[in-house]
Amino acid sequence: MAKSAKFISEGGSSNRPPLFDGDDYYYWKDKMEMFLRSQDNNMWHVVEVAEYVPLAKDSTNPKPQAEWTTQEDDRVLLNTKAKLFIKSALCREEYDIIMEYKTTKEMWKTLQTHHEGTSSVKETRIDIGVRKFELFEMKEEDTIDQMYGRFTSTINELNSLGKTYTTYERIRKILRCLPKTWRPIVTAITVAKDLTKVSLEDLIGSLKAHESVLQEDKPKKKMIALETQSGECSQKDGTSSENEESIQEDDEEELAFLSRRIQRLMTRRNQLKKNFQPKRNGAKPEVDMSKIQCYGCNQYGHYKNDCPKNKQNKPFFKKNS
């Protein structure tokens, strides 16, 4: 049900009942019971058993209000206070459900039946909760705190329906739901400790200690961030540690090395373009013969193969018959 803006959400006050907006009934039920018990020792009796009615001596007839003692008057006042607390804790949609009922017990039972269902519905919800408990697994990206929070939520829902698990069963389930990377610590715990005597707090503490070790063993990847937006300047915190400064210096040196390497490659590419000009349409580039020097006569205008002096000095060989 949607939350109404007219109601103030619950806070840390012990004088105001917790607000129920139609969601998470099991959570609200536990807090509301604790709140009513904290107001008076006899107030929960009014909700769970029946309202208090002063009776005449040796009779089942109610005593007239004029004959009530001070103690009886205070006990009757608890009936009205209990009804006031329950109605003040409900949003408009939930208030309409119990509005026609006169006693506190009827109001409480109506809310319980509406959100928990009848006995057959309860059994169905218990079956669903048990299956959820058996299939519970820790995800790879979950931390121990996140996993234990989801696990506790499932256990509390089953407890509100009347299905309970012992501490030993919970510990065994938590050890079974851990991923494969946790098998060494699971084996160590099962061998070194008696699980029937281990508390949930000790188990979670051991798992969190092992989790910190696994996080230290994970490889850390260095990443270089290039800022492309002009006109923006980043403000550095004056209290940064020496490790962060050293990592930043390494990144700057690596970036400078890469920029120098790229600049050298670009210079070499430009030189190759100048020395090796591409041919156009498959034709050879024109050559200025006046700049060509012969290595035979040291004269300009021809190659050594075309040197006239070389042709004059070349011997004449006759073919043999």
Whether 105 and 47 have beta carbons less than 8 Å apart is answered as yes
DSSP state for residue 293 in the 8-state scheme: B
Confidence band, pLDDT 50/70/90 cuts, at residue 232: very low
Q: Which residue has the higher pLDDT, 286 or 132?
A: 132
What are φ and ψ of residue 283, in 5° steps?
-90, 145
DSSP state for residue 60 in the 8-state scheme: S
The 10 Å Cβ neighbour count of residue 242 is 7
Confidence (pTM): 0.52
Whether 18 and 28 have beta carbons less than 8 Å apart is answered as yes
Across the range 175-194, mean pLDDT stands at: 90
Give the N- to C-terminal CA distance of the chain in Å, as an integer: 120
pLDDT of residue 11: 53
Q: Where are the domains of the chain?
A: 25-116, 120-217
What's the rounded Cα separation, in Å, for the pair 28 and 89? 10
| Predicted confidence (pLDDT) per residue in 277-308, tens digit | 555 555 555 667 777 778 778 777 777 777 87
Confidence band, pLDDT 50/70/90 cuts, at residue 8: very low
DSSP state for residue 289 in the 8-state scheme: G
pLDDT of residue 203: 92
Across the range 225-252, mean pLDDT stands at: 55
pLDDT of residue 169: 94
DSSP state for residue 181 in the 8-state scheme: G
| Predicted confidence (pLDDT) per residue in 25-50, tens digit | 888 988 899 999 999 888 999 999 88
Task: Catalogue the E-assigned strands of the chain.
Answer: none
